[in-house]
Structures are given as structure tokens and as C-alpha cells.
Structure 1
Amino acid sequence: KRRKSDLTGAIASVNSKDMKQGVITSTEQLLQGKVAGLSIVQSSGAVESGASIRLRGGTSLSASNGPLVVVDGIPGVDINSVQPSEIVSMDILKDASAAAIYGSRGANGVIIITTNRQGSDTEVNTIQYNGYVAIASAAKTLDLLSANQWRSYVRSTGNMNALDYGADTDWQKELMRTAISHSHNINFSSSKKSHGYRASFTYNNNEGVIKRNNMNRVAGSLSAYQTGMNGRLRLDEGINANFDSWHPIDNRIFERMTNLQPTFPVFNQNGSYAQLNGTNTENPVELNNNRIEDRKRHRFLGYLKAELSIVEGLTATMNTSYESNSVKSGLYKPTYARMEGQSEHGWGQRLYDDYTNKQLELYLTYDKKFADIHHLNLMGGYSYLDNTYEGFGSTRSGFDSDAFGYNNLAAGTDYRQGDVYSYKGESKLISFFGRINYSLMDRYMVTATLRRDGSSRFGNNHKWGVFPSVSLAWRISEEPFMASTHEWLDNLKLRAGFGVTGNQNGIGEYKSLAILSPSGAAYFDGTTGTWKNAYTQIQNPNPDLKWESTAQWNLGVDFSVFNKLNGTLELYYKKTSDLLWTYPVPQPPYLVGTMLANVGDLVNKGFELSLGYKAVRAKNWTLDANMSLAYNHQEITKLSNDQYQAVGLQAGSLHNVRGMSNTYSQVIKEGYPAGAFWGPHCTGISSDGKYMLDKDDNGKVKDGYLGSAMPKWNLGLSLNATWRDFDASVAAYGMFGQKVLNVSRMVMYDPTRFPSQNTLDDFMKSGITDNPTYSDYFIENGDFFRLQAITLGYSVPLNTVKKLGLTRLRFYVTGENLFCITGYKGIDPEVSVPDNVLSSPGIDFFNSYPRPRTFSLGVNIGF
């Protein structure tokens, strides 16, 4: 691993002590608010949910914007395959000059994870235990009417149609709980110069704040190393395995809990679930309880790395790995359950999905110093990746008995076309790569990389892509003319880089080919005398299909003064070309009316500032402060060419919102960022409670730009302090400049809901009588600043610890998501990004799982 002072690219590093503490449900959370320009948004408050990661605004409209994850030299690893307790550090490669070595997978940046598997020159044997117990509750809920408020409004409005069922039901409380979770990790390690091992085992039991939502994780890792041939050969091998099982919930309960008015009971007097006739008014408690859904996920990663020193300075390395990720799920809705259970007389489903990655990497490294002033490092190699996925699914309904649940689908009597399916696919990536690092007198540095990728995903005319980069650095502080500054200037380095990277995530394994599928019709084969399925083409071939390409320029300054303040300033401009989108095409000559094609351009530009300040270094106490600030401006600059045209592409569908089946809230349009809200501007509410929408001279409602869901500013703050044997840390982060469409509020601001359904208290006070319509009346400022976590710890003095036969004993308490400063009226302004794509961000639907506020008590023990 190269020293930071030798780096020429934009690379940020986070070590384990600076990562997020407390309850960790996904590995991505460790970096939240820690790196300038890196945005991490938890997809929901559900215990099984992951997070979306986006670096410098993202690069794709239709493909995932998640960075490539490299674990101990193995690229493309699922980030949640690694136990958080095993992570030593994470390096984030931000610019293309640093990430170009990863070619067609590096456009979204790279996260390099280093785990606990290094050796030691001295014998070290350790046993450690880390555990916590945590309680959590919903940080915020909707301000729905209580039964007393409902009755008061009924009296004040004189509504004669209101039915008071006599109950006092808070539907949100009926479905939520105070969740209790606990986690335990124990690890063993033994390290010598010639060999060593490390074993780690983790058990997590996490409860969600919605009843019946829980997750168990059993994880283990074992790594070892040996040296031989008088230290010229080193072998590293290991396995990581995670076994997750969880019970997801039906997200429809969130809509139902708002649709039922608060005087309606949960249960009838005989103990059965109370029910109303009609759709979307099903009892959400019944819906949550009377369905059986189990999911299991198995992750496995095995690796072997061999390093051989051939001659002085020349090393050969082989890296091979096998990774699998399989998910099994079973869902059963019994015959007595509302909705599909009763209407289908029982409904069952089994699904199985399996993904495997097999990789081989071979490379040579030559490292040599000449005349004490020249340092040359050369690397060249080859890599091979084989990705395979397969799965099947089966659905049946019409069961005579609920006794077997989803484990006997053959007992279902109702079978329909499409109820059984299976699939399999495979893609391969072959690469040749090289890198040159040269430094002169540790002052002048240059790095150049070149990678050539060949992918089976690409069309016949573009099977291979070339991805170059070059970067320069100048350590001005080491120049003789800067000698007078050495008393206060510790380091000053200028960097500049340019590179090209690619993104092949948006290209499915067979997207460049023509695909046939059964049409549902049949024809009679006179030769065999049988009826056969007819096939039709469902996808046009595109031999020109290729990766999305990102060219990026970066200027950077690294500085450190007075041995207290250090920082980095980055300026960047990146342009993504050949954006993938599905365009309409004429029929004929095409057999299908759409085509996936590379057409558009997207620009991101901005700056990033990272500061670290060692405020206090005294005998009994220390204080460190860190800040990260990033600004990003995004613009779509091209969507059409001579063959494919699009003035504006509709996005942000509101089809699932009542009365808005043909409404889109966003457009993808040249001259605007992704997530551009588009529609009518509301100038206010009239005296009779109607929405006043902006109109043109002809009296027609005008549509226009209403703001973007993309944040312009990202801020992260942290404080770390120690006093004697006590330690404390505070972490906070915020996003600013983005808009959020509050669909929950839009749905609730419906005068036809009251009194038969519940609604918001502020709607009843608003005087609005108009039916809800999409406009910027419901698009709100999404700025927020969140206190992410506060941790207070106490380490028992070492002399006392030794008397107990221990090497370390620390207790700590952590509070998470303690408050969020925002003007947003919904539950949470930090809205998830579906599938981490840029086409429809910033929409807060009414089925959002609330994020928890958590308090945990933990202990760290060393033996």
C-alpha cells in the first residue's frame, strides 16, 4: 500500500476508529458522512435494507451508480459480504486517474476495503469480544388525527355522514414497537513473521420498529498466511460466510394505516379482525400478521493470493476468488387472510436466485530505487471474470388447506401461465492492464495507467474498450525555496489528473442481442400433429451497444500546517458520454418499438474540501475535529442524436397514487439535472380552498421546472475526544439544495378522505377543498442536518484490567439518529434512491418505512 504522500490521484481514506459506531445493519453505513463527495442514503428503516452509495453526483440515468468494491485486492465483491468488525480501513478512489485501472467498472468510483489479515514481525496472539444491546423506536411518525381530534372535527364540520365506531385506535402505534437488538462478535488471531491466522464469528439479532420485521445474521471469517522460500513466497487464503434470515413486511400496511379512521377498532368483540368493505381499507394489523414470508440469503467468499519475489524488486502475484450470493424466499397468504388470501383461496410462492463470480488475476510488479532520487514502480497484468446467475420461481393458488404454507405448492389447484419460470445467464470480462509510478526526489510524481477490457455484454461492434489515465503531483513543501516555511508548513502538494473510466452495469448479459419469447399463442404443427408454442421477438439487436464512458479532470491540493491542521481541496469536472436509455424506434424496420442505445451526455462538476484539526494534545486529554464539505452541479447536456431523439423523457411515475394514473412528476431533459421535477407552479390557495395554478395567456395550466431532487451540498462533521480513561465522539451530516416530492402529504390533502379515512391535522386546518393535484405545492425543501451518533466510552485502567486477566475492557453507550433539523413536513427528508439510479430520485411515497432512533450499550473486551 502506497503512502498518501506518494499518491497523485484523488483518494480519501477512513480507518476503523473513524468509522460509524453503534448499530450497523449494512456495511455502507460505516462511511456515512465521513468522505467529501460520497453520499450514502439508507434505503429504508427496515432491518434488511441496504444503502445506496453515490460519488460525485453519479454517472448513469438507468444503471446503478454504486462504486466498485474491492476487498483485499478482489474487485466486484458485495460490500455486505465483509463483517464490519473485520474492516481495518477503506480507501475511496474518487477521480478517474485513480480508478481507471479498473476500466469499465470504475466510472462510479472505487471503494478499497482492507481487512484484518496482515502479519507481524513479532509474535502476537489476541482474543477479543465486542457486543452490544440496543433499543430502537421510530424517530418520527405522521401527524394523523387521533380519535378525539376526529370527533372534534366531525362536530365542527357538522358532517352527518360520519360513522363513529366507538374505538380509539392509533394505527401507527398498533403496528410499531420498541425494538430490541443485540450483536456479538468474537475473534481470535495469532501472528508471527512466518505464519498466522485470524478467525472471527458474529451473531446479530435485529428487530425492526415495525412488528414482525426482524433479521438474524450468523457470519464467520477465517484467514491465514504463510511464508516460505526464505521469505520470497507468501500465501494468503481465507473464507468469509454470511447467513442471513429475515421476515420482511408488506409495504401496503403503510397506506392502510393512514386510510382507516381512528374510531375503527383493530378487533371485533369476538376477537376476530375488524374489517371494512372496499379496497385499500384492509385492516393493516391483519395484513401484517396474516401472511407468512421468510427469506434467507447465503453469501460466501473464498480467496487465495500468492506473491513470489522472483528477483530483487520483481514480484509475481496471483489472486483468485470465488463468490456466491444466493437468496431463497417463501411467501404464503392463507385462505383466511384478506386480499390475495381470500380472493385466491390461498396464495403461495417460492423464489430462488443465485449469483456467482469467479475471478483470476495475474500480474507482475517491479519496484526499484535508483541513485537515491529515482523511484520507479511498474505493474502489468491480466484478469478474468466469469459472472453467472440463475434462478426459478413458482406461484400457486387455490389451496384446500393452509397447513403446509409455501412448502407444498403442488397442492394449489389454480395454475396460470407464467406462474412457473426459470432463468440462467452468464457474462465474462477479460482485461489487460498496466500502471507506471515514477517519483523524482519524492517531489515530482507521475502515474499513468492503461486498461483494455473485453466484455461479452457489449455489442459485436464494441467488444473491447480502452481506459487510460495520467496524473501528476508536486510536493512544493520539499523544494529548497520553501525551507523557510518548514517551521509551520508540514506538507503542501499539488495534484492534477485526467482519466477515462466505464460503466457496464446498465448492460444486461444479452441486451445487445435479439431475444425471442413465447407469445402466448399456439400453432398446429402438421408434421408432428401437435400444437406448439409460437414465439415472437421482444428485443431488437443492437451491435453498437457499449459501456457508458466517463472522462474526468481533477485538480487537488493537500496541505498540513503547524502539525495541527490538515486538509485536501479537490476541483473536478467529469463528463459521462454514451448514456444508456431505452428509446422509441419506428416499426418497421424494427420488429420491436424500443431500443436500448448509447446516446446521452451528463456533466458533473464541483469541489470537495476535507479538513482535520488536532485541537488539543495534552497529557490527559485530546480533541480532534473533522469536516467534509462537497458541492456538485449536474446537467444533462445531450439526449438525442441523428438516430435516436428525445426532447424530454418522462420519469418519476405517480401511477400508484389515486387519481394520478397517467401523471409523471419528473423529466429527463437537456439543460437540467437528473431528478428534475416538472409540472405546474402553484401560486397559492384561493378563498374557496382551490389550488391556484400558473397559467399561460390562453388560460392553460403551464408546466415548468420545479427544482431538482439532487443535493447540491453535502456536509459531514465529527468530533473525537479523550479525557483520562473516557472517550467521546460525535458525528453529524447534512444535505442541502435538493427538493423532495411529499407524496404522503399529497395523498392526505384530499377532502374526500374525511371522515371515512384518516388525514393529517394540518390539512384539516388548511381550508383546502380541492382534490389533490400534482404541483409544486407538494414539492418541499429537502435540506436537513442530522445528528447521526453520539458515543461515550470508558476504558477500565490497564492495571485493573491486568488483574482481571484481560488486556482491554471498555464500556460505551451510543445514541443514533437523535435529531434531524429540517423544514420538511414528511417523516424524513433523506429519501431513498430506488436501485441507486438517477432517473427518479427524491420522491417520498406513502409506503416509506420510518427510520429508527437507537440507543445501545456495548462492551469491548480483550484477552
Structure 2
Amino acid sequence: MNQRPTILSFLFLIFLSFSTIHSQKLLSGKVMDSKTQEALVGTIVKLVKSNAVVVTDFEGNFTIQSTNESDEILFSYTGYETIQMPVGSQSFFSIHLIPGKLLDEVILIGYGSQKKSDKTGAVMSVNSNELNIGGLSDPIQGLQGKVAGVTISKQGGDPNSGFTVNIRGAAGLTSGTGPLYVIDGVPGVDPTNIASNDIESYNVLKDASSTAIYGSRGSNGVIIIKTKNSGLSKSDEKVHKVEYSGQYGFDQVSKKLNFLNSSQMRDFATKTGRTYIDNGANIDWQDAIFRSGFTQDHTLAFSGSDHHSSYRASLSHLNIKGVLEGSGKQRSIGRLQFTQSGLKDRLTVYAGIGGAIEHNDFVNYGNGISPTNVLYQAFRRSPTDPIYNADGTYFETDRSFQYFNPVAIIKETQNERDAKRFFGNLNVKLKLLDHLVLGVNGAYTRNDSTSFYFEPSYAASNTTKGFAKRTYNNGSSQLIETTLNYDLNYKNKHSFNILGGHSYQKDSYDGFFAQGKEALSDYLKSYNLGALINLEPGSIGSYKNEFLQASFFGRLVYDFNKKYYLTATIRRDGSSKFGKNNEWGWFPSASLAWNIMGESFMNFVNFFDDLKLRIGYGIAGNQNIPTNVDAIFYIPAGTAIDPESGNQVISFQNSGEVNPNPDLKWEENSELNIGLDFGILKNRISGSLEYYRKTTTDLIYKFELPVPPNKNRYIYANAGEITNNGVEVSLFGIVIDRKKLDWKTTFTFSKNNQKTKQLANDKYDLDEIKTLYVSGRGLVGGENYSQVIRPGFEIGTFFLPQYAGLSDDGKFLFYTKAGGVTRDVSKAERREVGHAQPDFSLGWSNYLKFGKHVDASIAVRAVIGFDVLNVTRLVFSNPSDLPTLNVLEEALDEYDRGLTSSPILSDYYLEDGTFLKVDNVTVGYNFGLNKSKYLKGFRLYVAGSNLLTLTQYKGLDPELSYGGVEFGRDQYDVYPKTRTITFGLNATF
């Protein structure tokens, strides 16, 4: 047998293998953060031509085999600039990736995104690491004080009440003022459906040219929320991650009112000789109903991604024990998100599903002098009254009309709600052509809640031998949107993005209630309404209605050579809320931007790094009004005898509310916005200046009509005009940028002036609107209003009798129109004495990092130059109630100066509400875990919320809720503000 060919073949293979080994080269290196020099664990390192992929280890090191010096090596890490470079003869690579914050940030603009440098409207973006943390009862609270022109406020600290969000003032008189929330591309979703730890970023669209793509739903501004989703990566290797976030917070009432104690009460009775019943106790009734609160918030998330698919699953649980006895909130949220690509990346499918279960424990407050108002009863109760009798029952006495034990009210009353929420959406994008993408977005949300209320027959505050009520409410929303998006870049000078779409939304609401009196058994509470004997006409009711909206929209985004930008939008909305003659409306907008730095004459200007001028104008409709405003309803009118059968039946009558108006149409908001974006000192200082003028015409108002000839008393009609003018400043600064100390700061300034231009038209006449009424002991009648909406004046202007001193016998004196004084308040002139709108608002946030491990942040907020009507002083600082009822310590001073009048509403109780708050302070420690195999990140932190308030205001807290056009009143029965210390940890595996 001839062995020669075999030997030659063997020698050839050996030679070939040696040649291959010789041509291979081992590449190695280290990838670090360009600023901190910290290792970037998990950086993707890829050889472009050979498709070989590795990731860096826990020290940022990597090794990879290369067979071709002409190959290119790519370094990619989420949140950092991607670097791609030739392999060449180099064998070791020291790579410093630049953090994404130093790159051109991408912002969400509605049905798409764009580079921040390309924006033409007033859009601000805030990432999750810039938000307030610790003790958040509502996700939107994290955004407080971060965006100029956005007011996020809440009077009191009730965990079951939400925050009021107002962007550039109210857009109407009776319509809602809340913005449109868009969560993961789905408009109209309640942000409480997501957990605070699931939020990645907020994008706030403030002007009409930016919000126009959402039509009438965006008339009060738009907040786009992007949740955390791993997204598709550039690597074919699946990367998995587990994240846990836990918070434990401890809450205390930040400030209590200075009511008299038992010694002061007894001393006053002795000093004045007034009749007084001393029941021998020494009770602080605020301590009796307040307690130390507790908050815990946990989120566990699993995520993973590669080039073709990604997933994220999260589970959150929030538990809040309120500082007011009996109040609390528990909420659990689960979310699951998937993204899958196919057809050679021409198809992308995103699916998200989520659900929330919530239980609320309520306490009665905020209902004036109601017998079950826990705060009112506690504040007025004598400190000498004990909580319990000797036998352990609740102590009750009749010092005054409707005088009840607040602890008994809390313990004996059932007031709770169970809610279930579901949210799901499916988004499909298909690249039909290289530049043409078809998008289909479908979503469904559902909210169900059941409320339970029960007062037992033995409760002293109950006069009906037991009262029970159950209420069920359901709301659902269906949305389907279809878009076509054409994107083209021509010769790197002309960039076009053309969007066209259709949207259809159907919202449905239904519910019922049943109530009754005289319970057979207190044990059953409200769970069995059949155990109630007394069911009067009107004790059972139900409702069902729906709202439909259809829209067509289009948008053109164009830029020439990154110097001149144009955005034009048109939207046609149809709504079932309006009269049949005006169901549809057109809403256009356009905005221009000029990148001044792109001009050749700026080559000689070294002071600016960025400079861009923007101008935009848009029109939006406002449909934030109730559904069925022109429907005729019938209500029970009592019982009658059926003449045919002789049986007793319930008779009905017209509810006498609203007359139909087929000409009712959209409120129309037109807004001009001029902005200037700039950067100096190598962009160490950057920011924007904004001026806007927003005008709302055809205001929707509920006008009163004579009956007869009209069938009903009211009609919704269009009349009137209001304006909002404002200036906003946003600044971002890198104060110190060193390895051992990194300090960044942001500053916001906002000034808004809202004024009424007119309230009437040729058909409907209205001179003024009396508003902001107050209530309390001695305050009865229809003249206890404090503000008037009047053409030519600011919204929130106080018109009150002006205090002129005391008479010789201690009665209040007020100025008259003729310049004299009177003790009869009905003869006093109501004068313009103050304004609830602030002169301006400030926000200042600081972010610091000390070395590799320690970080800190502080957020300060101030509202300057506004007036507050202190209704607490009005009701509780009058010595005429002593010593029967408790009062503030100020009442002793009032007695000493001779006051003998009962409480009378006037500017005597109007105060400057200017304040500065330290909203949030956080200090954290990040552990270095480069050598850990499983634990990739671990951070401990402590955060304080509402730590300090500097103000000369005498009440509990000067912060107001700026919802609608009624603000400026600090009512006495507001849930107390809390100061919270939170301990938390974040871990990544």
C-alpha cells in the first residue's frame, strides 16, 4: 500500500494549522468610565466581521481572539457612548466610555422620539436618578420641584389622596386641570398603576406645539412616563439581571396646632369666672388621634435581553400606616413586559400587562362642622374631657351642638375601599420599506372599586340607629391607534420624519350604591345591607355612561443641515361630550428652531457652546368636562298610590339640572411659546429660557337660567376668556467634576400670571363668579365667599371686608365704600386685599458624589409672594368659645385685647404664605463589588422628606393645592403634613 499521499496530506494539515495559529491574535484590555475610572462590568466587546462577542468581567477586563487585523472592535454599554475602532496591530485596548449624560440625550415627544438638540418645543426630561426618593405615596411626587412651570402640590399628608399637577396654570374655569399621562406609549393611563421604582424617566411636554399631537387630551400639558424595560441589546448573548429595592420609612406629624391644654383652660375659667364644666382629665386630643406612621415599599424585578428579545417582570408592594389613627393604604402591583423582534429585525412586538390590588382605610375629615369630622371634633374638644369612662366605654358629653368623641368616631366607623386595576397593551411595528414603518398600538384598562361605610347604632355621632352604605364603581378604557412613519435623510442635509395616524378611544363607566338606616345587627356592618330596616326613596341608585373619541393626526419634522428645524402638526378630534353641531374640531400647531451655533459667523464666538432659538404656536381643544352634561335625569320624588292597582309606588321627577345645548363646543387653547437653549463653559452650564402666552376662549361654564320658560335650571354653554402669561428658567450646572468630588446642580424659576378677560357673550351674561367659600362654627349664610373671579383681575384674587380695628366694646370694625367704618359686615365694602397666585416659584436640586462610594442629593423648593386665608385662625382663635370649647393659644391674646365678636370673615385672617421647603435629602453608600461573582451592585441610603419649612405663616403649612381656579384657603380640617425618614437599599444581581 502506498503511504506517500497520506504522509503528504498529514504534513500539509500540520502546516495549515500552524499558519492559522500564527494568524490568530489574542486581544485584551480594560473598559472604564471616562470620568470615575471605575470598571464597567458587562460591557459588550464584539469583533464586527467575525461576530465574536465577549463581555467584560467584574474588573472591566476582557480577552478575545482575532483572526483579521482589518477587523473592527466594538465596545457597547447601556447609557454610554458606543466606540468602534480598527483592530490593526494593537493587542491591548484601554477604553474609556463617555457617560450618556454627556452625549445628546434622547427625549420622548409623543408617538416618537428625537434628540434633545433637535427639539422645537418646550419639552423637559427628568431621569429616575434625578427624582426625589423615600416615602412616596404617589409616583408623581418624585417629580416635585424638578421642572419649571410644573406645580405638583398636595395639602396635607393623607396617603389616600393624590397630588394636584398643574402645568402653566389652569386652562379653564370648570374643566379639569390635570395633564394627560402617557405610559409606555399609551395615553390616559393612571400613573398610580405603576410603582415608583418601575419608572425610568419623565418627559414633560408643556407648550401647545409639543402637546398638539395628542389633541384635546393634551390641552393641560402631557407627561410621558417611560417605565424600566431592558429593551433589545446589541449582543446575541442573553444578559439577565435581578434587581431589588426596599424602603422602610418612619413618619411623624411635622407640626401640630397650639391648642390650649387643661391647665390653660382651667386658668382662663378661674380668671374670668365663666361657667365651666371640668371633667378632670388632661388630654391632648391631637396626640389622641395622631400616631407615628410607617411606610414600607418593596420592588423585585427580573429582566433579560439579547439582540432579538427582552423581558422584564416586576412585583411591588407598598404599605402605609398613616399618622392619623385609622388611616392607611396597601397596594400591590405586578407588571410583565416582553419585546421580540423578527423578520430580520423588520418586525418588533412589545407586550405589557399589569395589575394592581389596593386597599384603603379612610378617616372622616375635611367635611366642615360635620359630626363625624374627626379633626374638627378633636380640635374643639375640651382637654379636661377623658377619652374613656371608668368602664372602658367612650366618654361622651353635651358641651355643644354635635359634640362627639373623635377617638370613638375613628374606632367605631367603618370607612374603607377595595380597588382592582388592570392594564394591558400590545404594540407592533413593521418596517414595510426601508424608511416606512407601520405601527399598531392597542390598550385596555379597567378600574373596579367597592367602598364600604358603616356607623353603628350605638355610636353617639349617629342619629339614625345605624347607617350603612356600599358603593361600586367601574371604569374601563379601550384604545386602538394606527400610525405610519416615514423617515428619510437626504444627502446628510435634509432630514424628514412624517407621521400619520388614527386613534379611537372608548371609555365606559358604571356603578351603583345602596344605603339604609336602623341596622338589625351592628356585627354585619355594611356587608349585608339586607339587615337594614329603613330604606327610603333614593337609597338605591345606579348609573352608566360612556365617552367616545376618534382622531386623525399628522406631523412633519424637518431639519436642514442641523441648523433650521420645523415641526408642524395637525389633528382632528371628535368627541361625544359636545353638542351634535360641534362634535369635531381642528387643532393645528407649528414650531421653528434655529441652531445659531451652526452659522459661520458664530465661529468667532467662543463664549457659547450651544445656542438655539425656538418659537412655536398651537391650538388645542379642551374637553375635560363631565360626560352627559346635556342629559335629562329623573330622581325619586317620594311615594304615591297607583290609581289603577291601588298599590304604593315610587314617583319620579325631572332632576331639574341641565338643559340640552346642541351648540356646546370645545374650549379652545391657543399658545405662543418662545424659547432659548444655551450652553457655556464647555457646556458646564446649560439651560433654557421660556416665555409663553396661553389664551383660552369659549370657556365652558354652567350658567343659571330662569324656570320657566326653561325646563331645567342650568345649561352648559361657551362664554368667556382667560389668559396665562409666564416666564420659565431652567439651569443645569457642573460645579465640580473631579475624581474625588462630583457636584451637579439644577435650578428652576417659574412665574405664571393667570387673568380673567371676560365671562360673558351676547347670549349669556355673567359679571363675576363668587368662589372659595369657607365654613365653620358661626360661619353661616351665602356671603362667606373669599374670592371673586372678575374680568380684568387675576384668578385667585381675594375680595374681603377690610379690617379696621376693634370698637370700644370689642367688636370687629370694617371699612365702608364711603371711607367710614362699620361693625355690620353686610354694610362693609369688599376690597381687593390679596392674591393667591404666587409671584414666582423656585426649585434647586443638587447631586454630589464623593469618591467611588458615597453620594448625596438635596432638593429645595420655594414659593414666593402669595396670600393664604387662614381659616384655622378664623374658626379657632376666637375667645367667645372659651371655656366651653377649645381654642388656639392666640385666642388668649385676642381676649386680652378685648375681642368680643364672633368669627367674621375678613382680611384680618389673610396672611403671607411665602415658604421655603427642604423637600428631600438623601445620603447613600455604594459598595465596590468588582470581585463579586453574583452581586453586581449594592447601595444603602437614608432619605429625609419634608425636613424643614421656613415661613412666617401662622398655620400648619402654607402649601396650597393649585387645582382648578379655587385655591388660597387653608382649611382647618386638613390631614397633617408628615416628616419622613426612610432607610433603603438597592441590590443588583
Report the TM range for the smaller structure's normalisation.
Answer: over 0.9
1:688 shift after superposition: 4.4
Query: Would the aligned equivalents of 1:513 and 1:543 in 2 still touch at CA under 8 Å?
Result: no
Report the CA distance shift for 1:679/1:124 in structure 2 as closer, same or farther (over 3 A). Answer: same
1:808 is the counterpart of 2:937: yes
Indicate which of 233, 258, 274 corresponds to 1:120: 233
Within-5 A mapping of 1:504-515: 504-506=623-625, 508-515=626-633
Q: Greater Rg, structure 1 or structure 2?
A: 2
Tell me, in whole angstroms, the C-alpha distance in 2 between the residues paired with 1:59 and 1:194: 45
CA contact (8 A) 2:486 2:497 kept: yes
Distance 1:657 1:582 in 2: 30
Match of 2:838 among 704, 708, 711: 711
Deviations 1:137-183 (A, max 9, x none): 1001111011122222233x332412222111000001111112211
1-structure distance, mates of 2:327, 2:529? 25
In the TM superposition, 1:606-755 aligns within 5 A as 606-655=726-775, 657-662=777-782, 663-686=784-807, 688-697=809-818, 700-724=827-851, 725-755=853-883
Q: In structure 2, do the counterparts of structure 1 residues 354 and 395 end up closer, same or farther at CA, with 3 Å as the change threshold?
A: same
> Match of 1:174, as an amino acid?
A
Residue 677 (structure 2) pairs with residue 558 (structure 1):
yes
**Equivalent in the alignment of 1:462:** 582
1:542 equivalent in alignment to 2:661:
yes
- Between the aligned partners of 2:648 and 2:524, the Cα distance in structure 1 is 37
- Report which stretch shifted further, 158-167 or 21-30: 158-167
Residue 647 of structure 1 and its aligned partner are, at CA, apart by 1.0
Residue 299 of structure 2 is matched in structure 1 by: 185
Q: Distance in 2 between matches of 1:450 and 1:194?
A: 35
**CA drift at 1:370:** 0.6
Give 1:325 shift.
Answer: 1.4
CA contact 1:523–1:533 (8 Å) conserved in 2:
no
Residues of 2 paired with 1:71 and 1:448: CA distance? 24
Moved more, 169-178 or 536-545: 536-545
Q: Is 1:96 the counterpart of 2:208 in the alignment?
A: yes
Pairwise CA distance, 1:751: 2.5
Where 1:2 maps in the other structure, the secondary structure is strand
1:142 equivalent in structure 2: 257
Unaligned runs of 5+ in 2: 1-112, 366-372, 822-826
TM-score using structure 1 length: 0.96
Q: Which amino acid aligns with 2:608?
A: L
SS of residue matched to 1:826: coil
Structure 1, unmatched stretches of 5+, are: none
Q: How does 1:312-327 map onto structure 2 within 5 Å?
A: 312-327=434-449
* Separation (CA, whole Å) in 2 of partners of 1:401 and 1:516: 33
Aligned to 1:403, the other structure's residue is in SS state helix
Preserved CA contact (<8 Å) 1:525 1:531? no
What is the aligned partner in structure 2 of residue 831 from structure 1? 960
Structure 2 counterpart of 1:511, one-letter code: V
What residue is the counterpart of 2:618 in the other structure? 499
Q: How does 1:114-263 map to 2 (within 5 A)?
A: 114-117=226-229, 118-122=231-235, 123-155=238-270, 157-251=271-365, 252-263=373-384
Distance between the aligned counterparts of 2:631 and 2:326, measured in 1? 44
In 2, Cα distance between equivalents of 1:141 and 1:532: 50
CA distance in 2 between counterparts of 1:187 and 1:358 reads: 28
Distance in 2 (alpha carbons) for counterparts of 1:529 and 1:798 = 82
Q: Is the 8 A contact 1:474 1:495 kept in 2?
A: yes
Counterpart position of 1:348: 468
Q: Following TM superposition, by how much is the alpha carbon of 1:63 offset from its aligned partner in structure 2, in angstroms?
A: 1.8
What amino acid is the match of 1:509?
Answer: T
Residue 265 (1) aligns with residue 386 (2): yes
Out of 134, 145, 153, the position equivalent to 1:41 is: 153
Aligned length: 853
1:285 aligns with 407
SS in 2 for 1:461: coil
CA distance in 1, matches of 2:868, 2:493: 55
SS at match of 1:798: coil
State the Cα distance separating 1:693 from its structure 2 match. Answer: 1.0
Compute the displacement of 1:764 (Å).
0.7
Cross-structure match for 1:434: 554
Distance in 1 (CA, whole Å) between partners of 2:149 and 2:437 is: 35
Aligned to 2:981: 855
Which one of 418, 428, 431 corresponds to residue 306 of structure 1? Answer: 428
Answer yes or no: is the 8 Å Cα contact 1:204–1:217 preserved in 2: yes
Distance 1:489 1:610 in 2: 17
- In structure 1, C-alpha distance between the alignment counterparts of 2:342 and 2:845, rounded to whole Å: 44
Contact 1:628 1:717 in 2 (8 A): yes
For residues 689 and 627 of structure 1, what CA distance do their matches in structure 2 show?
Answer: 50
User: What one-letter code is carried by the residue in structure 1 that aligns with 2:204?
Assistant: I
1:287, distance to aligned residue in structure 2 (A): 0.9
Q: Is the 8 A contact 2:641 2:647 kept in 1?
A: no
Q: Distance in 2 between matches of 1:596 and 1:320?
A: 33
**8 Å contact kept, 1:515–1:540:** no
Verify the 8 A CA contact 1:43 1:50 in the aligned structure 2: no
Equivalent residues of 1:655, 1:661 under 8 A apart: no
- Structure 1 residue 238, shift from structure 2 partner: 0.7
Distance 1:149 1:532 in 2: 57
- Given that 2:636 and 2:650 are in contact with CA atoms closer than 8 Å, whether structure 1 keeps it comes out as no
Tell me the alpha carbon deviations over residues 265-322 of structure 1, each in whole angstroms, 9 at most, x when there is no partner. 1111222111112433201111111111221121211000000000011000000000
Higher RCO, 1 vs 2 (CA within 8 Å, ≥6 residues apart): 1
Counterparts in 2 of 1:43 and 1:77: CA distance versus 1, 3 Å: farther
1:150 and 1:804 mapped to 2: Cα distance? 68
Distance 1:661 1:832 in 2: 25
**TM-score calculated relative to the size of structure 2:** 0.84
Give CA deviations for 1:547-591 in whole Å, capped at 9, x if unaligned. 211100000000011120001000000001111211122333311
- Residue 367 of structure 1 corresponds to 487
Q: What secondary structure sits across from 2:945 in the alignment? A: strand
Tell me, what secondary structure is at the counterpart of 1:140?
coil
Q: Does 1:334 align with 2:444?
A: no
**Distance 1:513-1:659 versus aligned 2 partners, 3 A rule:** closer
1:71, 1:460 → 2: CA distance?
32
Identity %: 35
Amino acid at match of 1:610: S
Preserved contact between residue 519 and residue 536 of structure 1 (Cα < 8 Å): no
Match of 1:78 among 172, 190, 195: 190
Amino acid in the other structure paired with 1:385: Q
Please say if residues 876 and 891 of structure 2, whose CA atoms lie closer than 8 Å, have aligned partners that are also in contact. yes
- Residue 269 of structure 2 contacts residue 275 of structure 2 at CA under 8 Å; is this kept in 1? no
Kindly state the Cα deviation for residue 132 of structure 1 after the two structures are TM-superposed. Answer: 1.2
- Asked if structure 1 preserves the Cα contact closer than 8 Å seen for 2:537 and 2:636, the reply is no
Aligned-pair CA distance for 1:215: 1.0
- The reply to whether residue 756 of structure 1 matches residue 888 of structure 2 is no
Return the offset for 1:651.
Answer: 1.1
Cα contact 2:465–2:517 (8 A) shared by 1: yes
Listed one character per residue, the Cα deviations across residues 715-750 of structure 1 (whole Å, up to 9, x for unaligned) are: 111111000110000001121222111111100122
Give the Cα separation in 2 of the matches to 1:321 and 1:712.
42
SS in structure 2 opposite 1:803?
A: coil
- 1:385–1:657 Cα change, 3 Å: farther
Code of the residue aligned with 1:270 in structure 2: it is D
Q: CA deviation at 1:372?
A: 1.1
3-state SS of paired residue (2:832) = strand
**Cα deviation per residue 1:340-384 (whole Å; 9 max; x = unaligned)?**
2xx211111111111111000001000001111000000001000
For 1:414, the equivalent position in structure 2 comes to: 534
Q: Would the alpha carbon gap of residues 690 and 530 (structure 1) be closer, same or farther in structure 2, given more than 3 Å must change?
A: closer
Deviation, 1:531, is: 5.7
